[in-house]
Structure 1
Amino acid sequence: MRGLSRASLAEVEEHFNAVAGSADLGTLADELFSVADLFDHEHGLRRNLSDPARPAAQKAQVVRVLLEGKVSNAALETVVAAASAKWARSGDLTDALERLGVIAAAAEAEAQGKLDEVEDELFRFGRIAASNLELHRTLTDPSISAERKRELLASLLDGKVAPTSLRLVTQLVVHPRGRSLDRGLEEFGKLIAAQRQRLVAVVRSAIELSEEQKQRLATWLRTSYGRDVHLNVEVDPRVIGGFSVHIGDDLIDTTIAGRIEEVRRRLAG
């Protein structure tokens, strides 16, 4: 993406990060893929939603009427943000939604400690498909139905690879969006590699943190983890003093409520 679309993508990713922290990431990925596929097929709808001359509020309302109650709140708010943004070309809107679907899937794999597996499995699948001409023809043949391709991939990969790997390969095979399988796997691989460069921390606090407090916390976490950390801050009245930070399987709890619960656990033991 270039110029206007690049700036819009950065803005939409900020909205996505704000809602993704508490979402079911696998479901979010599937929903964003589905919406991207819908916009790919509904050319008039995509052109209207990506038209920079149309008011953002009008486009947001169209998305809410279309999707409210049919997808999760995280997916809805992400699509609203994407439709409200300005894009240099209509295809950039769907590219952005698919990209965020990949990021959501990668974040789920990272939370499960399976990101290394996913990278390896996507690479290996690409090599297997390239070396098996019959398999490659079947997966890329436009005359073969999407359902048949899904069934084939499930029979080959389900239970043998990480769920994220199956999800991403299925998206590429069923909805190539003009890409070769090799190119699609390469694109997804690059997005997954970029995911490694940043962690997402869910911060729970009784009060809204100031920008200075967020910056200090992000700096401390970056120093501790050796990677950039994006903060998703949740204001939770149940937190009594202090705050908690959840990164992957790690929990840093400085809350009074957390200390009280720890005392209870010790007394119960």
Structure 2
Amino acid sequence: MQGSSRAAAAASRDALTGALAGGADRSRLAEELFAVVGLLDGSTALRRAVADTSREGSDKVALADRLFAGKVGDETLAVLRGVFGQRWTSERDLTDTLETYAVESVIAQAEGEGRADRVEDELFRFERIVASDAGLRSALTDAQASGERRLALVESLLGDKVAPEALGLVRQAVRAPRGLRFDRTIVRYLDIASRRREQQTATVTSAVPLTDEDRARLAAGLATVYGGTVHINTVVDPRVMGGVKVEIGDELIDGTVIRKLDAARRAMGA
């Protein structure tokens, strides 16, 4: 996001912050914002009208009122007015920002229920499962299959096995990927969650599952090095044999046995 869109996103965030701090029904706020994103994505004329840089912000705020007053909650309308009234570099920046606010509302709901970490873990694990299973990935993204069929598959796989916020976001990713692959959509949601929670995320690969104590100790150690809070996502891969591989930001710390063996083989062959 560049130019005026960056300033627009910063200016419109106050409306979201106010809605969340004011006791909004966060689930409803998310649902309504996702619905508006879908409406804008489906209407070129409306999307252009909202993002038209030649129109005054007050005109676009009035447009939000005409379209949505009485049809969405007051908090949702306040967020829409805050977003519509800004000057955006592109239509996509505007709709992406609305989608970001919808995801943040879901994460805020999870935070209020004390299960935000669980939601992140479940989204990450399901994304990895789908990425490693071509058949499942195809079934979830098959444009020839009805939306109801794909959503029914999600329900059968996850149902009451995951937090409602995680289920809702997976359903949204299947229902409206917005031109992205399913896995990229989930990764985007996870990035939004990390930014909202002001934390970094580390992906840790190990030969055996880490205990809660292992995860806590590793998170604390990484936080000391990188600052802030670090959330740990784990991947179990027996091929690493032992040790752990840590990916955080653009950095890779590979302390696995297999890497050490590879290094030894290279040294012996040198």
Scaled by the length of structure 2, the TM-score of the pair is 0.71
5 Å-filtered alignment, 1:86-235, equals 86-197=87-198
Q: Which residue of 2 aligns with 1:11?
A: 11
1:30 paired with 2:3, answer no
Provide the aligned length of Structure 1 versus Structure 2: 201
1:64 paired with 2:69, answer no
1:52 paired with 2:50, answer no
CA distance in structure 1 between the aligned counterparts of 2:47 and 2:87, rounded to whole angstroms: 12
CA RMSD of aligned residues (A): 1.8
Cα offset, 1:71, TM superposition: 1.1
Cα offset, 1:132, TM superposition: 2.2
Cα offset, 1:102, TM superposition: 0.6
Deviant stretches of 4+, over 6 Å? none
CA distance in structure 2 between the aligned counterparts of 1:150 and 1:67, rounded to whole angstroms: 27
CA distance in structure 1 between the aligned counterparts of 2:79 and 2:20, rounded to whole angstroms: 9
Scaled by the length of structure 1, the TM-score of the pair is 0.71
Cα offset, 1:9, TM superposition: 0.4
Cα offset, 1:126, TM superposition: 0.7
CA distance in structure 1 between the aligned counterparts of 2:144 and 2:67, rounded to whole angstroms: 30
Q: Which residue of 2 aligns with 1:224?
A: none
Q: Deviations over 1:86-108 (max 9, x none)?
A: 10011111101000001111111
Structure 2 residue runs without a partner (length 5+): 200-227, 229-270
Cα offset, 1:189, TM superposition: 0.7
Structure 1 residue runs without a partner (length 5+): 199-226, 228-269
SS in 2 for 1:86: coil
Q: Deviations over 1:28-81 (max 9, x none)?
A: 111111101110011110011011111112211221121111111111111111
Larger relative CO (CA 8 A, sep 6+): 1 or 2? 1
CA distance in structure 1 between the aligned counterparts of 2:145 and 2:82, rounded to whole angstroms: 35
Cα offset, 1:15, TM superposition: 1.3
Q: Which residue of 1 aligns with 2:210?
A: none
Q: Deviations over 1:177-220 (max 9, x none)?
A: 1111121111111111122229xxxxxxxxxxxxxxxxxxxxxx
Q: Which residue of 2 aligns with 1:231?
A: none
